[in-house]
Amino acid sequence: MVKEMVGGCCVCSDERGWDENPLVYCDGHGCNVAVHQACYGIVQVPKGPWFCRKCESQERIARV
C-alpha cells in the first residue's frame, strides 16, 4: 500500500529521500509519520511494514 504524505520528514521537514537515506512511512492505522532513515535512527529499512515508536508501542500493548 502506498501512502501519500505531505510535509516530508517529521524530524527535518525535508520532502526528499535518497537511495542512501530514504523516507520511511509508518504503516500504523491512521498514522502520518514519515522520517528519513538517518533522522530516526533506523538501522535497516524493513522490506515489510514499519511502525514509528508510538505505533510500535501501541502494537505491543494490543498484543498483551
Domain containing 20 — which CATH number? Answer: 3.30.40.10
Give kind and range of the element (H or E) at residue 24. Answer: strand 23-25
| 37 pLDDT more than 90 | yes
Domain count, the chain: 1
Supply the mean pLDDT for the chain. 88
Tens of pLDDT, residue by residue over 3-24, are 555 679 999 999 999 999 999 9
Single out the residue of 40, 42, 32 nearest to residue 8, CA to CA: 32
Domain carrying residue 31: 1-63
